[in-house]
Amino acid sequence: MKKAATAYKRASTDKTGIIDPLKLPQYQYNEDIFKKLTIIPDGKNHGMMMLLDWSGSMSDVLFNTVKQLINLVEFCRKVNIPFEVYFFTSERSSYEEEKTTKGFSHKNGDWFFEDFHLVNCLSHRMNKKQADLALKTLFHMGMYFDDRYTWNRRNAFDQDADALAASNNYGIPGKYYLGNTPLNESLIYMDKLIPMFRKKYGIEKMTFITLTDGSGNSPRGKIFGSEKSEYDDEEYYRQKVYQIGKSKFVGDYHNFTNNLLTHLQKEHKCNVIGFYVIKRVKRWDIEKYIDNYKDYSDKINQYNKLRKELTRDKAIAVNADGYNKFFILDGKKLAVESFDMGNVEVKKGTPSELKRIFGKSMANRLVSRVVLNKFIKEVA
C-alpha cells in the first residue's frame, strides 16, 4: 500500500550490458542479446494532512475521535508516510495576544472572517520521543473533555488539594479549551499549507482528512467594507461572486465549506476524505445524504439499508459535496478495543475454544478501528 503512486508510470527499461545466455542462439538475426533491467523509482510519495475539530460540540465524542486519530498517525509512522495533524481552535489567544496576532487581513469586498488558530499538534518531523509525548498529551486532553461534566469531575473540584491530586483532575491550560468551529477559516489556510507540504516532500498522492461533527462557522454575514449587515437581505450575498485562488463561486455562504473543499480537490489534486461524527443516530443525519432515489418508498429502503450498515460497521459511506469520500461515524461506538488473552478464562481449555476466542477478539479489535480501516482502503 505504500508503493509510489506513479512509480510504474515512470518505470524505464534499460540494457544492463550483460549478455543473456538464453538469447545467444539469436545473435545472428537479433542484436538485442543483453539482459534488461526494469527500473522503478523508489519513493514513498503519499502524503497526509489531517484536520481535527476542537470545538465545544465535540466534547462528548472527542476522546473516541482522538483515539481513532492516533491509529491514523501510528499507521503513517509505521509505513513512513509524511503527515501533519492540525486542530483548529478559537480559544488559543489571550486578549493581549489577539491585539497583535491576526488570522486574516481584510480589504473591501472580502468576506469577513474571525481570527482563529491552527495548532500543529502532530507531525512526521517529530522524533519518537516527541511524537510519543504529543500523542500522550492529545490522548489525555481528549479524556479530560470526555468526562469534564461528569459527577466525579465536578465532585473532585470541591475536594481538597490532596483529593484533587489523587483524582488526577488538574485540568488543562485555558488555551486548549474547546470553542466555536472555525472550519472554513482553517480550509482557507489549507489552500497555502497543502501546496507547501506537497512541494517540500515531493508528494504525488495527497490525502486531506477532516474529523468533525458538522459544518463550520459561516462568515459573519457581511462583506468587509460594505454597508450591508447580517440582518439585511440575504439575496445580496447570494448574488456575490467570490474567488479563492483560481476558483470562483457564487456567494452563497451556506455552501461555503463545500466550495472550499471542492477548491482544494481541483486546485491541489487532493483526495479529500471526511469523517463526520454524529453523537446520536437520528434519521435526518442519514436521510439528508440520500439524493438519488426514484420515489419516497425507494428513499426509505435506502435509509433502512444504510441504518443497518451503520449499526453493523459503525460507519457508512455517503455522497457529500466537496468530498471524494464522506463517512458518517457513530460517535458513541468509536471506542478502540484491545484484547489481552491473559485475562480470558477458558472453560473448556481446548485448542478449538482458544481459536474461537482469539478469532472473535481479533475481529472486534479490527472493527473498532473503523476510521483506520476506511482510511487504508482509500489510500490503497
Query: Which phi and psi (to 5°) does residue 10 adopt?
Result: -100, 5
Q: Cα separation of 148 and 154, whole Å?
A: 8
Boundaries of every domain in the chain: 8-39, 46-338
pLDDT of residue 136: 92
The lowest-confidence range among 21-25, 42-46, 234-238, 370-374 is: 234-238
Strand partners, 207: 48, 271
pLDDT of residue 53: 92
User: Domain spanning 46-338: which superfamily?
Assistant: von Willebrand factor, type A domain (3.40.50.410)
In tens, the pLDDT along 43-74 reads: 458 899 999 999 888 888 888 888 888 988 98
- The answer to whether the beta carbons of residues 357 and 343 sit under 8 Å apart is no
In tens, the pLDDT along 298-333 reads: 889 998 998 888 888 778 888 888 898 888 888 776
Interacting residues of 229 by C-beta distance below 8 A, sequence separation 6+: 221, 222
Q: Cα separation of 279 and 285, whole Å?
A: 10
Q: Which of 92, 98, 103, 102 is nearest to 54 (CA)?
A: 92
pLDDT of residue 335: 63
Interacting residues of 274 by C-beta distance below 8 A, sequence separation 6+: 209, 210, 212, 261, 320, 322, 323, 325, 326, 327
Write down the residue that cell numbers 460540540 correspond to.
Answer: 57
Model confidence pTM above 0.75:
no
Residue 11: pLDDT band (50, 70, 90) is low
